[in-house]
C-alpha cells in the first residue's frame, strides 16, 4: 500500500507573526519557514506504518513556491521515499489544494492519504474534508490513534467530550491531531540521503487544475492590546468595579 502525505511550508511556530504594513497579509519576507507541525505528525505516522510493514511506500506532496522543495526534502530525510511538488506562485486556498491532491491521488493510487488537521498559518481545517468529498472516500479527522486492520483502518479521533473510534474501509483520508505521535528528528546521514531521493516537479497547468483564489482577504491586523489589570484590596472592591466600571454584573 502506498501512503500519500500532504505537507505545507509555513512560518515556523516559534516565530511571532506580524501583518504587513498595508495589512494585506502576514510578513514572511525574512521569517523562518518550516513544515506545518500537524503535517510533521502525518509524515511520522506514515513512516511508522511503513516500518510496521503495512505500507510499501510513503510519498509526500507539497504545493506552492519553489522553496517548498526544502520542506519536501525534510520529509524525505525523516524517511519518506519520494516527493511531488506542484510549483505555483499563486496563494493556494483549501479547495485548490484539495483538487490538486485529488489529481495526485488519481495518479499514485494510494491506499491512504494522511494530512495535518490544519495549517498553523490559516487554521482553515478544510483540505482533508474537501479531499475526502472529492474522492468519495471515508474520512477520520483529528486522529489521535491509527490502526490498520486488513482492509480497514481504525481511527480514534479527538472530540469535545473525549475520543470517538471509527472503522473506515480503505482507501481513506485521515487528518492528524497533536496526540497521535511525536515526530522524529532527521539524522545527518538521512539528510544527505534525502538529496538523492526522487522529487517530481509539476505545475497546476500540468494537472489541468484552476487554482485561482475564490476568497479575498480584506484585512489582516493584530488583535487589540489588552489593558493592564488592576489589583483590588478585597471582594467588596472587586464587586464594586465589576458592577460600576465593567458593568458585567
Structural domains in the chain, sorted by start: 2-244 (3.40.50.620)
The pTM for the full model equals 0.88
Taking a C-beta distance cutoff of 8 angstroms, is the pair 112, 151 a contact? no
Average pLDDT on 200-223 reads 93
Q: What is the C-alpha separation between 46 and 55, in angstroms, rounded?
A: 8
pLDDT of residue 30 exceeding 90, the answer is no
- Neighbouring CB atoms inside 10 A of 239's CB total 12
pLDDT of residue 128 exceeding 90, the answer is yes
What is the tens place of the pLDDT at every residue in 166-205?
999 999 999 999 999 999 999 999 999 999 999 999 999 9
pLDDT computed for residue 98 by the predictor: 97
What is the tens place of the pLDDT at every residue in 50-60?
999 999 999 99
pLDDT computed for residue 80 by the predictor: 97
Q: What is the C-alpha separation between 173 and 41, in angstroms, rounded?
A: 15
Nearest one of 10, 4, 136, 130 to 64, comparing CA atoms: 10
What is the tens place of the pLDDT at every residue in 226-235?
888 888 999 9
pLDDT computed for residue 99 by the predictor: 97
Dihedrals φ, ψ of 18, to 5°?
A: -135, 145
Amino acid at each position: 500500500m502506498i501512503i500519500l502525505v500532504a505537507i505545507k511550508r509555513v512560518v515556523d511556530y516559534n516565530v511571532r507573526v506580524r501583518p504587513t504594513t498595508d495589512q494585506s497579509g502576514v510578513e514572511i519576507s525574512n521569517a523562518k519557514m518550516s513544515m506545518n507541525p500537524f503535517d510533521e505528525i502525518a509524515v511520522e505516522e506514515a513512516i511508522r506504518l511503513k516500518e510496521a510493514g503495512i505500507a510499501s511506500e510513503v510519498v509526500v506532496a507539497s504545493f506552492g513556491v519553489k522553496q517548498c522543495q526544502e520542506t519536501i526534502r525534510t520529509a524525505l530525510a525523516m524517511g519518506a521515499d519520494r516527493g511531488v511538488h506542484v510549483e505555483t506562485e499563486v496563494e493556494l486556498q483549501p479547495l485548490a489544494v484539495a483538487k490538486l491532491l485529488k489529481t495526485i491521488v488519481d495518479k499514485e493510487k494510494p491506499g491512504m492519504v494522511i494530512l495535518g488537521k490544519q495549517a498553523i498559518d490559516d487554521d482553515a481545517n478544510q483540505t482533508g474534508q474537501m479531499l475526502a468529498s472529492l474522492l468519495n472516500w471515508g474520512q477520520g479527522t483529528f486522529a489521535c490513534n491509527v490502526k490498520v486492520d486488513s482492509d480497514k483502518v481504525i481511527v480514534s479521533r479527538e472530540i469535545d467530550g473525549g475520543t470517538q473510534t471509527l472503522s473506515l474501509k480503505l482507501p481513506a483520508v485521515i487528518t492528524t491531531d497533536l496526540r497521535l505521535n511525536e515526530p522524529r528528528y532527521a539524522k545527518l546521514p538521512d539528510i544527505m540521503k534525502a538529496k538523492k531521493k526522487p522529487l517530481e516537479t509539476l505545475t497546476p497547468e500540468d494537472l489541468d487544475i484552476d487554482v485561482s483564489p475564490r476568497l479575498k482577504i480584506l484585512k489582516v491586523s493584530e488583535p487589540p492590546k489588552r489593558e493592564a489589570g488592576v489589583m483590588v484590596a478585597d471582594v467588596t472592591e472587586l464587586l464594586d468595579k465589576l458592577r460600576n466600571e465593567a458593568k458585567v454584573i
